[in-house]
C-alpha cells in the first residue's frame, strides 16, 4: 500500500473555494477508482487557508492512474492548483493498523 500525505497552504481567503473543489472532485475521482483505497481531506479549525490530504492507494500504478484521470487534471491540477501557495508531497509507509 502507498500512503500519500499532502499538507497544503492555500492562498489567503481561498478555504471555501478549495473545499468546494475537493467536494466536487471526491465523487468523480477517488470514488470511481477501485485502487484508491481512501481519500481523506482534513481542515484545521485553528488554521485558516490550510488543508491536509491523506490518501491510500493499492500501489504506485494506482496513484499514477489517480493523478492521470480527467477529473484530477481538470479539478485538482486545474482549479485547485490555482488556490495553493505551497504543498509538500510525503510518502508514508504503514507501520500499525488497528
Beta-carbon neighbour count of residue 98 at 10 Å?
A: 2
Q: Which residues contact 38 (CB under 8 A, 6 or more apart)?
A: 54, 55, 56
Residue 93 in this model has a pLDDT that exceeds 90: no
What residue ranges do the domains of the chain occupy? 2-87
Q: pLDDT at position 82, please?
A: 97
Q: Contact, 39 vs 69, CB < 8 A? A: no
pLDDT digits (tens, 9 = 90+) for 31-79: 999 999 999 999 999 999 999 999 999 999 999 999 999 999 999 999 9
Residue 84 in this model has a pLDDT that exceeds 90: yes
CATH number attached to the domain at 2-87: 3.30.70.100
**Which grid cell sits at 45?**
479549525
Amino acid at each position: 500500500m502507498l500512503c500519500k500525505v499532502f499538507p497544503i497552504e492555500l492562498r489567503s481567503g481561498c478555504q471555501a473555494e478549495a473545499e468546494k473543489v475537493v467536494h466536487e472532485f471526491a465523487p468523480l475521482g477517488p470514488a470511481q477508482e477501485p485502487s484508491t483505497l481512501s481519500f481523506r481531506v482534513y481542515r484545521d479549525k485553528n488554521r485558516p487557508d490550510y488543508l491536509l490530504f491523506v490518501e491510500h492507494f493499492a500501489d504506485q500504478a494506482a496513484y499514477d492512474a489517480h493523478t492521470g484521470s480527467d477529473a484530477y487534471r481538470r479539478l485538482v491540477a486545474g482549479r485547485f492548483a490555482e488556490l495553493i501557495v505551497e504543498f509538500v508531497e510525503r510518502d508514508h509507509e504503514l507501520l500499525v493498523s488497528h
